Amino acid sequence: MKAAISIGFFLLLYEAVARSGWFAAALVPTLPAVAKTLWWMLAEGTMARHALATLYRVFAGLAAAAATGLLLGFLMARYRPVERFFLPLVSALMPIPSLAWAPVFILWFGLGDTATILVVFYAASFPMILNTWTGARAVNPLWLRAAGAMGAGGAAMFWKVVVPGALPFIITGLRLAFQRSWIAVVGAEMLAASAFGLGWVIFDAKEFLNADIMLASLAVIGAIGFLFERLVFGSLERSTVLRWGMVRAAKA
């Protein structure tokens, strides 16, 4: 409900600008015009194909990044040599924008899904690595001591104490990785995708000055992001770290 108010307010502001006559209607279409295009694209099925193509790339890249980030982050936190080996590598690779890799990946793997997924993977990996690494090191030493005194070691210590203890950081890492995946996928599709994808359709629409298609696609990206944030990450947080009091809800 509160989300509807804040989003509604923003939409009203946009509509006021669109109707003000300051800009050409073709460049700043009104909301009904955008809604009509969106409806048409949804009814025709093209929007679903674009969205599915993009979702596939996002989740393939994100899943690979999450697996890599968790593994590497935990290993770095546990073993000094692993940390010493990978930390400089992470520091050097992290500041390179994932999009800067797109031309390289295209050169190596050709146009298409592989290059796009790799760009997403690259973008999403670093928040996962860094958050897992930090989370594992931030586990309350008292929990480790208490667990150790009760006979936990090795695998039990890891699965029953370190993993749940690091969960607030890991969930935040997933959220950041998800968000960065979207930034990466839209850019990568512009360069590497040849037919479908929400990013591709936006840049394709530019050629024909179809501002309504661009905005309709942007709205779909926003809606997907919002739904995932609310349904997936929000409920993941509510059913774990929030429920356990490891993070607190904001004050009313």
Minimum Å distance from CB 174 to other proteins? 17
Q: Which of 161, 188, 193, 213 binds other proteins (CB under 8 A)?
A: 161
Tell me which of 43, 67, 94, 156 binds other proteins, using CB under 8 A: 156
Nearer to other proteins among residue 140 and residue 235 (C-beta)? 140
Residue 195 DSSP code = S
Shorter beta-carbon distance to other proteins: residue 92 or 149: 149
User: Is residue 185 within 8 Å of 113, Cβ to Cβ?
Assistant: no
Within 122-151, the residues that bind other proteins by CB under 8 A are 140, 142-143, 145-151
With residues binned 3-state (H G I as helix, E B as strand, rest as coil), the percentages for the chain, rounded to 5, are 80, 0, 20
Closest to other proteins by CB, 45 or 151: 151
Alpha-carbon gap, residue 65 to 14, rounded angstroms: 36
Is 154 one of the binding residues for other proteins (CB under 8 A)? Answer: no
In the bound state with other proteins, the residue whose beta carbon lies nearer, of 139 and 192, is 139
Our finding on whether 3 is near other proteins (CB under 8 A) is no
Question: Looking at 21-29, 40-48, 103-111, 163-171, which segment touches other proteins (CB under 8 A)?
Answer: 163-171
- 250 belongs to the binding site for other proteins (CB under 8 A): no
Q: Are 128 and 159 in contact (CB under 8 A)?
A: no
Part in contact with other proteins (CB under 8 A); list of ranges 164-172, 179-187, 191-199, 225-233: 164-172
Measured distance CA(85)–CA(163) in Å, rounded: 23
- Nearest of 220, 210, 179, 222 to residue 50 by alpha carbon: 220
Binding status of residue 158 toward other proteins by CB under 8 A: no
> In the complex, what is the shortest distance from the CB of residue 151 to other proteins, in angstroms, rounded to a whole number?
4
Q: Which of these ranges, 45-53, 86-94, 154-162, 184-192, lies near other proteins under the rule CB under 8 A?
A: 154-162
Footprint of other proteins on 182-241 (CB under 8 A): 240
Chain residues in the site for other proteins (CB under 8 A): 140, 142-143, 145-152, 156, 160-161, 164-165, 167, 240, 243-246
